[in-house]
Amino acid sequence: MATSPNAPTAAAPRSSKLLIGLLIGVSLLAAGAVAYVLLGPKAAAHQAEAAKPAPEKPIFVALEPFTVNVQGEGRAKFLHVGMALKVRGEPSKAQITEFMPELRSRALMLLSNRTADSLVSPDDKAKLAEEIRTELNRPLNADLPEQGITSVAFNTFVVQ
């Protein structure tokens, strides 16, 4: 049997299905690429944000305000100060609370050796805060670690 050149063959339906399959595949790849370009950076940023650990809440221990005599030229000067100690964690907070009388005494001794003129500028106060942090962080005895004070914040500071 002879076939004419115009007669359909079995390859024609197969090639059209292959062509349709390729077009669908290319379309899906293109749609995926567009979705990645549009959503990829946002989704990656969102995932990175979600992966970040939540910042820890700061823990502060407030010292009751106190007044101390400071060194003055000719007349008595006073410093009225209130401060809060930022600590590393609950164990540090518990230790500071337990030894509060000794820590207050250390702060009073440190402050009473200052002159009124050395407590005026913002730089003087920042330096004083660091000295207080260092002094109060010293171990209370040989068996105890340092207190874990990371910073000192003044909430009252009056030199008169």
Is 84 among the domain residues?
Answer: yes
**Does pTM surpass 0.85?**
no
58-86 residue pLDDT tens: 999 999 999 999 887 778 889 999 999 99
Verify that 63 and 36 share a domain, yes or no. no
Helix (H, G, I), strand (E, B) or coil at 8: coil
Same-domain pairing of 75 and 93 = yes
Q: Do 23 and 89 fall within a single domain?
A: no
Integer Cα distance of 102 and 85 in angstroms: 15
What digits encode the pLDDT tens for the residues 85-134? 999 999 999 999 999 999 999 999 999 888 888 888 999 999 999 999 99
The domain of 24 spans 13-52
- Which CATH number do you get for residue 149? 3.30.479
Q: Which residues pair with 157 in a beta bridge?
A: 81
